[in-house]
Amino acid sequence: MTVFVLGSSGQLATHLKALLPDATFCGRDTLDLAEPRDLSAAIEAMRPSAIVNAAGYTAVDKAEAEPALAWRVNAQSVAAAAAAATALDVPFVHVSTDYVFDGRQTTDYVETDATNPLSIYGATKLAGELAARALCKKSWILRVSWVFSEHGANFVKTMLRLAATRDELRVVADQRGRPTYAGDLAAVITELVRRPECLPFGTFHAVGGPVVSWHEFAELIVEHAFERGMIPKRVPVRPITTAEYPTPARRPANSALQPSAELERALGVAMDWQKGLTAALTALRG
């Protein structure tokens, strides 16, 4: 089995390296995802048994000022990878996002709910989904949200850094979702490429655990970090509204994805962001 992974140093790719040590990982230093033709050539030259897209343009706010670049990375490169997978007749795993939804729904989003992204980032990720479905019938699209890990840059590490130096934190309380631990996501992807016959191709929500607001998530991070002696004091976390923290990109108020039960049932991987938070903090504490 030869797995070609787009991405090398990010949260997900770092976890995948531990689980798929024989895979080939291509990061920015070796492959520019803003150049879809180069990606097609690299995949054709390697002729892998599976392709995993663990990379992307993820700077949600910056994408508002760089729509063309976000489009090339999140849509055109996905199209190139999906077409290459079809040409080689191999499966393609693509990671998408909760931001393909507009957040106006009051219940959790299921895979078949109508999409309507509010931001350039969400629009380019949706375009990537559409390309994967149209160009590769052997594709799994895994939607995730609020990805965190002990690796890379993410909300958990930002909260730990700020909690170590500030007297209080102010965090948005009117946006809700289900965080995703990158280690859980890597376990799902690993099972897919090792046992592709276990799950039908299609779109799945790779999340697990309770729905929380960013504020509630931050409170848990601070509480657990203080209990582990990772920060000097239990810093108060004050709730604020989205209006009090304006950003270039609009974000959905409710981006809670309904977990896909098929993932655990077929692959044996139980996704639980609360356990993932414990794992991430344990690793960060050392």
Write the CA distances from 149 to 183, 215, 226, integer angstroms: 7, 18, 18
Position 83, amino acid: A
From the list 57, 99, 109, 121, the catalytic residue is: 121
Examine the residue annotation and report whether 121 is marked as an active-site residue of this protein. yes
What phi and psi values does residue 142 have, to the nearest 5 degrees?
A: -110, 110
SS3 102: coil
Place of tokens 């996704």: 271
Place of tokens 């810093």: 235
Q: HSE-up of 181 (CA within 13 Å, CB side)?
A: 21
Return d(Cα 254, Cα 264) in angstroms, integer. Answer: 24
Give the torsion sign (CA, 133, 136, 137, 140): negative
Long-range pairs for 229-235: beta carbons < 8 A, 24 or more residues apart? 229/285, 230/160, 230/281, 230/284, 230/285, 231/160, 231/163, 231/164, 232/164, 235/163, 235/166, 235/167, 235/168, 235/169
Residues serving a catalytic function are 121
